[in-house]
Amino acid sequence: MIKVIELFAGVGGFRLGLESVGGFEVVWANQWEPSKKAQDAFECYVRQFKNKGTHSNEDIATVDEKSLVSFNANLLVGGFPCQDYSVARSLSGEKGIEGKKGILFWEIVRILKELRPRYVLLENVDRLIKSPAKQRGRDFSVMLASLRDLNYSVEWRIINAADYGFAQRRRRIFIFAVQNDTSFVAKMNKIDNVTILHHKGFFAKPFPVEECTNEKHKPLSFTLPCDILEISNKFSAKFLNSGIMKNGNVYTEELIPIKESPITLGEILQTNVGEKYYLDKKTIEKFQYLKGPKKIERTSSTGHKYIFSEGGMAFPDSLDMPGRTMLTSEGTVNRSSHVIEDPVTKKLRILTPVECERLNGFPDNWTEGMPERMRYFCMGNALVVGLIKKMGERIKEIESEETTKAEERIIQLSLF
């Protein structure tokens, strides 16, 4: 059994995916929403996973990492916020570097330092590899260097869920880190980087790619500076949609997915939905404006006049394609919300909370019991559960090989 600690758990997408594989036990999970008095996501999590593991509803910065050691977790997972990962030297200069206060990635680092789980699986928005705009790639470089200093090797992949058969065109970066003293890393160290990314690595098996690479983006190799402070202050780099970091050496490549036929938006729709989801004439006109092409003259804070322009969007959304990326504002009158023509009534409406759950691969009514606005919000924050199931199967396969190797070593030692 692989014991798991889940951070920034939301309504349990990581846990759902892993537990659907079998062989995983989430022993401790933390979910806390600092800006809200009502802890709807946490209450949903507790309701769905009642009496299974320890559930924490406190600021992760206040959690004593030493209290987690006894759980003996071998896997840490979490979808953490995309923030500014710059660092600074401590005032004394003797304690190394420290991240800006309130940056949740540093809480992951703090916990990893104490627990040293064999595997780490993290999720974030795909723009992470390009941030910040003024020092491209700095934040991701800081993250990789932090994991390097904790003795992990790292592989990452930006995955569009729809490319691998799921119902949403949701692009996210997944980061898999594994301890350097494992047989998996030893095996990967004997294989060239191209073979790892295309055939033998963590992501290659569950998410196959073409043999060729993107001609517009040539593969890149570089070494991260040893000092994370130097990375924070001066370093920038171009990261492509996949890559490897071993001992600070980075190889990155733009992979082309071998696409599977996705589930379409039309396939996940409910029938006989309530009247409140249908749009009146005035709301339809608002959506038409928001989703239409526009050029607007604006004035900046310095008095400079400029033209803001944006292209048009499909209106209504096509039912023959997967859904677009859901945001936390789904279901409100804004440009990003889905608007569909109901196949039965032929009238325009927004998606229901259950349809949003289906877009992410959650069971129907998973978030039932919280305010409807929060149901949309939680699904806009959630991940596609089926992707985690595929990754869980891969982790289980790697752990099985790890266990076999360990048993072989014990047998060999017993012969002497």
Residue whose token pair is 């420290």: 98
Query: Which residue out of 44, 82, 226, 378 is catalytically annotated?
Result: 82
Which residues, listed in sequence order, are joined to residue 257 by a DSSP beta bridge? 209
In whole angstroms, what is the distance from residue 245 CA to residue 197 CA? 12
Closest to 193 (Cα-Cα) out of 226, 240, 260: 240
Asked if residue 237 lies in contact with residue 231, where contact means CB atoms within 8 angstroms, the answer is: no
CA distance 407 to 386: 32
Write down the residue that tokens 């349990």 correspond to: 12
Query: How far is the first Cα of the chain from the last one, in angstroms, to the nearest whole number?
Result: 30
Query: What is the 8-class DSSP label of residue 367?
Result: T
303 Cβ contact list (under 8 Å, min separation 6)? none
Supply the DSSP symbol for 186: H
Distance CA 289, CA 28 (A): 47
**Cα separation, 34 vs 90, whole angstroms:** 26
> How many Cβ atoms sit within 10 Å of the Cβ of residue 226?
11
| Amino acid type, 13 | G
Q: Angle, nearest 10°, between helix axes 372-381 and 40-48?
A: 80
Q: Is residue 82 among the annotated active site residues?
A: yes
Which of 267, 242, 259 is closest to 164 using CA atoms?
A: 259
Active site residues: 82
